[in-house]
Amino acid sequence: MDNILSIKNVVKRYAAHTAVANVSFDMKQGCIFGLLGPNGAGKTSLIRIITGITRADSGNVEFDGRITNGEHPALIGYMPEERGLYKRMKVGEQLIYLARLKGLSDKEAKKALDYWLGKFDILDWKKKKVSELSKGMQQKVQFISTVMHSPKLLIRTLFRIGSDQCQYD
């Protein structure tokens, strides 16, 4: 099985603070991978490097066997913990807009929109504003926006898991 992502000796600094210190790992295609660490460990900084939001100060990031470039973010579906939806936009318009940002044509975006809204049995939400939806319904819309363009890699962040929510035997 090939690696979908390879991180090699990645370093990221913000002024005098080192957020990511010489991180290396491989992620196999088709696998689930967990990136765990306490607050301030550099998880968000590393995700921003992987998704192309920021650049590493040193080291290499390979996506699907090639050094990352300006095209690889279109192949990643990123669903942050905090939803980045435009509350005043209608669900259908927003999902088409976000799919177009990921490289789908208008026709492809509309086809994907109908497929995913149909899959969740929510075709009637197309003309609703995001602000009219409950938090759970907004999460469904966020998920659809994450997968509409058929990404090769899905990233979902969950940073609010505390030790008080875990049981140890």
Task: Compute the average pLDDT of residues 16-31.
Answer: 92
State the average pLDDT over residues 2-22: 93
Residue-wise pLDDT for 96-130, tens only, equals 999 999 999 999 999 999 999 999 999 999 999 99
Residue 168: per-residue pLDDT: 38
Q: How confident is the model at residue 157 (pLDDT cuts 50, 70, 90)?
A: confident
Q: What are the chain's domains?
A: 3-70 (3.40.50.300), 75-169 (3.40.50.300)
One-letter identity of residue 122: I
Mean pLDDT for 36-52 is: 88
Q: And the tokens for 81? A: 């913990």
Is the CB of residue 127 less than 8 Å from the CB of residue 164? Answer: no
In eight-state DSSP terms, residue 131 is G
